[in-house]
Structure 1
Amino acid sequence: MPAWICTVLIGIGATLAMDAWGVLRRRLFGVPAPDYALVGRWLGHMPRGRFRHDAIARSRAVRGERMLGWSMHYLTGVLFAALVPLVWGLAWLRHPTPGPALLVGVVTVAAPFLLMQPGMGAGIAASRTPRPAIARVHSLLNHLAFGAGLYLSALLLQAFSSV
């Protein structure tokens, strides 16, 4: 199987793992899952020249924002998954190890901290939220779940195909 297909499948699997963690977290701890419609709203305003909002939830809704947000969520997962073979080589796809996957999970938390949260009105690393430290921990745990999903998805792909 070509490396790019493996990467796409691993990225989708890792993003599914992150979403499964969100469902589990909501059921066990009452923590709401991320609202990817708001990500779509943020992105939907960009072609109109608006990149930053005081509070994205109070910004005007954008047609198709839920689909746009969820699509970008999975596309981002695939792009982040590509970091592993780009940095550690294609051999990682054949012999996955947890270290690179978890490191990518941790490093990619920079995207919400430095790009999404400020653009959506939450400030750098959720500094404008009511409980920034809790928000940061949840972001980190979400991205660790993504990293674990990278590793587990690569293992599953390796088990069921000849990478």
Structure 2
Amino acid sequence: MSNLLFILFTGIGATAVMDLWGIVRKPLLGIPLPNYGMVGRWLAHMTHGQFRHDSIAISSSIRGEHIIGWTAHYLTGIGFAALLIGIWGESWVHNPTISPALAVGIGTVAAPFLLMQPGMGAGIAASRTQHPASARLQSLITHAVFGLGLYASGRAIQLFYSI
């Protein structure tokens, strides 16, 4: 299997694991599912030169924002899988281990803390939300789950491909 296909499947798998975590945590913790439509809205507004919002929820809606958001969500997961392979290389493709996957997964929390949340009006690391500490913890847990998803997906692909 080419590294490109490995990255693609690993990124999709890890993102799906993260989405499953979102579904599970709703009944367990009462945390609503992420609204990737707001990510799509934020990205779509960028094409018109608006990169920062006071509140993305009150910004004008954009046709197709849900599709844009979900597509960006999965492309970002694939991009982070590429980062993992870019750092740890071919050896990780042949023998996925958990530490690098968790390091990348947890490290990716920088994207929402420093880019997405400020751009969408929530402040750096959710500082403008009602419960910043809780929002930060949930982001950290979700990105750790993404890291576990990178590992699990990498192992599953490696095991399946070696059959």
Q: Which TM-score bucket, shorter chain as reference?
A: over 0.9
List aligned pairs for 1:50-89, cutoff 5 A. Answer: 50-89=50-89
- Which ranges of structure 2 fall in alignment gaps of 5 or more residues? none
Q: TM-score, normalised to structure 2's length?
A: 0.98
Deviations for 1:29-63, whole angstroms, at most 9, x for unmatched residues?
Answer: 11011100000000010011100000000000001
Question: Residue 95 of structure 2 corresponds to which residue in structure 1?
Answer: 95
SS at match of 2:47: helix
Deviations for 1:74-132, whole angstroms, at most 9, x for unmatched residues?
Answer: 00000001111111111101100000000001110000000000000000000000000
Question: Residue 144 of structure 2 corresponds to which residue in structure 1?
Answer: 144
- Which ranges of structure 1 fall in alignment gaps of 5 or more residues? none
2-structure distance, mates of 1:84, 1:44: 28
Match of 1:67, as an amino acid? I
Question: Residue 30 of structure 2 corresponds to which residue in structure 1?
Answer: 30
1-structure distance, mates of 2:141, 2:40: 22
- 4+ runs of 1 displaced by more than 3 Å? none
Aligned length: 163
Match of 1:117, as an amino acid? Q
What is the CA distance between 1:28 and its match in structure 2?
1.0
1-structure distance, mates of 2:58, 2:79: 29
What is the CA distance between 1:162 and its match in structure 2?
3.4
1:19 partnered with 2:31: no
2-structure distance, mates of 1:103, 1:33: 24
Question: Residue 4 of structure 2 corresponds to which residue in structure 1?
Answer: 4
RMSD: 1.0
Q: Between the two proteins, what is the percent identity of the paired residues?
A: 57
